[in-house]
Amino acid sequence: MKVKLATQVFSHSVSAGIYTYTTLGGLHADAIGTAQLLAKFDKIFDCCNSLSFKDGKICRRPLTASPPHLLTVSSTNCERDDNVPLLQLSNIQDIPDIHQENIGPLRIISTEYTNEYLENRIFKDNAMAYVAGYLLRKAYELHKCDECVHLCSENSLAANNTFLLFKAYNTGSSAYSGLTVPSDEMLSYVNKLEDAFISFFDKLEKSKGIGRDLLELLGKIELDIPCKEFNRVFLIRLFVRMRIYYCLKYVNRELVTTKRKNRKYIKLVHL
């Protein structure tokens, strides 16, 4: 596995996702152990990749001999190396052959941890709450006042904010550590944008000016906000650009995977 792929899997985001699914009943409680393991690996990677003294992740700050760096590094190898038997092997040829007979193929028993609760919209709302918070934070960088601040809800502990709770780096005074938590109204608005994008993207994907057509379409979805200076057009543009990027990203990934699978076959055909 490539290092860049390993860091994507053994990451804080994947750990937060497993915590979220487990908390909401989408995964068995035993999955917590996997989430804890991924979180520990993420901290180990951070300790080896410090960036600045004010980084949002404490472990990614310069390495020190105090917590949490000390706890992270000291817990990376809790088992003693059992090298005594290896040193006592004076002649490897003296080891008798071990024959195992009547051993069938390896049987992997699949366990279905998901349940009917996965069909509930709560899981989509958790993902969309994170996206809506990101869009809102970017829009607030252009303008934020007392009239448009109601689009966020920093003190909300609703079920659709579970992923935000686990995603937060726990470095701030609030439970969400600086993450922007969208209100129910803002979350509903972004869900409407997403539903409209999914409904019309397949119809427009082969036409020219797809971005312009999507902007015109999504611009018809209303957002009830009294502030006239709130840049809703910027928010929609950012959403469209982000969604098109990820659609193309995963399509290109599938194409690359297909080419890799058929690479040896193509070489043999041309021999």
**Contact in structure between 165 and 175 (CB atoms under 8 Å):** yes
Last residue of a domain, one of 11, 42, 76: 76
Q: What is the DSSP secondary structure assignment for residue 152, as one 8-state letter?
A: B
Residue 265 lies in a domain: no
Say if residue 139 is in the same domain as residue 223: yes
Report the 10 Å Cβ neighbour count for 106: 5
Residue 109 lies in a domain: no
The one-letter code for the residue type at 158 is A
pLDDT tier for residue 206 given thresholds of 50, 70 and 90: low
Say if residue 67 is in the same domain as residue 163: no
Residue 270 lies in a domain: no
Structural domain harbouring 16: 3-76
Residue 173 lies in a domain: yes
Say if residue 170 is in the same domain as residue 241: yes
Q: Which helix (H) or strand (E) holds 122?
A: helix 122-140
**Contact in structure between 226 and 145 (CB atoms under 8 Å):** no
* % of the chain beyond a pLDDT of 90: 23
Report the 10 Å Cβ neighbour count for 110: 5
Say if residue 49 is in the same domain as residue 141: no
Tokens 């982000």: give the residue: 242
Structure tokens at 214: 């999507």
Which residues lie closer than 8 Å to 38 by C-beta, 6 or more apart?
9, 10, 11, 12, 14, 15, 18
- Binning the chain into helix, strand and coil, the percentages to the nearest 5 are 55, 0, 40
pLDDT tens digit string along 55-103? Answer: 777 777 887 776 666 566 565 555 555 544 444 544 444 444 434 444 4
Least confident of 28-32, 91-95, 173-177, 234-238: 91-95
Residue 264 lies in a domain: no
Structure tokens at 134: 């990101």
Last residue of a domain, one of 17, 50, 76: 76
Question: What's the total number of domains in the chain?
Answer: 2
Say if residue 14 is in the same domain as residue 129: no
Residue 83 lies in a domain: no
Say if residue 252 is in the same domain as residue 125: yes
